Structure 1
Amino acid sequence: MSKVVETVKQVVKPILAKHSFYLFDVAFVKEKGGWYLRVYIDKDGGVTIDDCVLVSDELGEKLDEMEPDPIPQAYFLEVSSPGAERPLRNDEELRQAVGEYVNLSLYKNLNGNKSFEGTLKSVTEDQVVLENDQWGKHPTVAIPRDLIAKARLAIKF
């Protein structure tokens, strides 16, 4: 992990705690000839644009006050939500998503499919169970954990 990312995490966590937000991720990347510091925040019920502006203002002020400057090159600070279809990157995030509508991509076919969407009903060490009332006679499917390539929240249409 880069020193910039680690420093920003340490600076932003007290700001987020003060406002009952939590940190989803921090990225410091070079794109299109410029550096971007991206801070992804969330809270119960989701974040608003005003929440992002609040954190951006407070974080920018704290970073500007630091000596020596933790980010000596010019950069763009972006504070945002991780998104409605954010990835579920680890066991903790997957367990927190129980009851949510999710999309799972698999390494290989299961029952003729490599992708499933439904309400996440349970998560164990060995499997996850999804339910979707549009699946007809068999509205639930148990998916072995070792088949899951990617998991993310999904929007139900």
Structure 2
Amino acid sequence: MSTTQIDRLRGLLEPLVAERGLDLEELTVTPAGKRRVLRVVVDSDEGVQLDACAELSRALSAALDADDPMGSAPYVLEVTSPGADRPLTEQRHYRRAVGRLVALRLHEGGDLTARLLSVDEEGLDLEVPGVKGRKPTRRRVEFAQIARARVEIEFNRPKASGDGPAEGTGGPAAHHQDTEHDENEEEA
């Protein structure tokens, strides 16, 4: 799908997402056999509940049916929240990961895995775990130093106050696949 078509879809769908207090994180259209999949990824500071995905899916579906930006080809609308392994690319992504363990690839200085303590306009305050019984140390990393970043999955993560979304919110569990839109019912 061309950039102008993605821009048109974004222009149509983003206001509906924002009305519900969510951020439109990603919008993709991919071929899937004779159909296409329109995938809308949304998130918020509180995470995204399954009910919110379902309600948003209904609203987006109605808007898509009314405006017809997908044309006459059949498509499937998929509304979901980002998975835990998605890259951290925006300040809001880091803010939502405060309290979590993050893996950073730095432009200079290699890789770093540390607990994210706080985020501001310039960068991150981290707690680097101690090695071989040593105490953890604090470290400051500026956004300009970060080449790539993502949250590290922890099965026994320590729970702290203000530690991001509650368990069971956001991520792959908050996934809703809406109805199939097929205007050409001539398929066998």
Range into which the TM-score falls when normalised by the shorter chain: 0.7 to 0.9
Counterpart-to-counterpart distance in 2, 1:124 and 1:44: 17
8 Å contact from structure 1 (residues 63, 70) kept in 2: yes
Change (3 A) 1:104 1:97: farther
Once the 2 structures are TM-superposed, how far is the Cα of residue 148 of structure 1 from its aligned partner?
2.3
- Percent identity reads 29
| Alpha-carbon contact 1:95-1:123 (below 8 Å) kept | no
Contact 1:22 1:43 in 2 (8 A): yes
SS in structure 2 at match of 1:119:
strand
Equivalent in the alignment of 1:71: 70
Q: Deviations over 1:108-130 (max 9, x none)?
A: 544xxx231312434564x6431
SS of the residue 1:9 aligns to: helix
Q: 1:137 to 1:41 in 2, by over 3 A?
A: same
- The list of structure 1 runs, each at least 4 consecutive aligned residues, that deviate by more than 6 angstroms after superposition, is none
Greater per-residue helix proportion: 1
Which ranges of structure 2 fall in alignment gaps of 5 or more residues?
156-188
Counterpart-to-counterpart distance in 1, 2:114 and 2:128:
7
Structure-2-length-normalised TM-score = 0.64
- Are positions 1:119 and 2:120 aligned together? no
- Indicate the structure whose relative CO is greater, using CA pairs within 8 Å and at least 6 residues apart: 2
Contact 1:94–1:123 (CA under 8 A) maintained in structure 2: no
Aligned ranges 1:46-65 → 2 under 5 Å = 46-65=47-66
Using the TM superposition, give the Cα deviation of residue 150 of structure 1 relative to its aligned residue in structure 2, in angstroms. 0.8
The equivalent residue for 2:151 is: 153
Query: Does 2:24 correspond to 1:28?
Result: no
Change (3 A) 1:145 1:57: closer
Deviation of 1:94 (Å): 5.5
Structure 2 partner of 1:3: 4
Q: Deviations over 1:118-155 (max 9, x none)?
A: 12434564x64311455533422334655422112334
C-alpha spacing 1:70/1:94, structure 2 compared with 1 (3 Å): closer
* Structure holding more strand per residue: 1
Distance change (3 Å), C-alpha of 1:16 and 1:94? closer
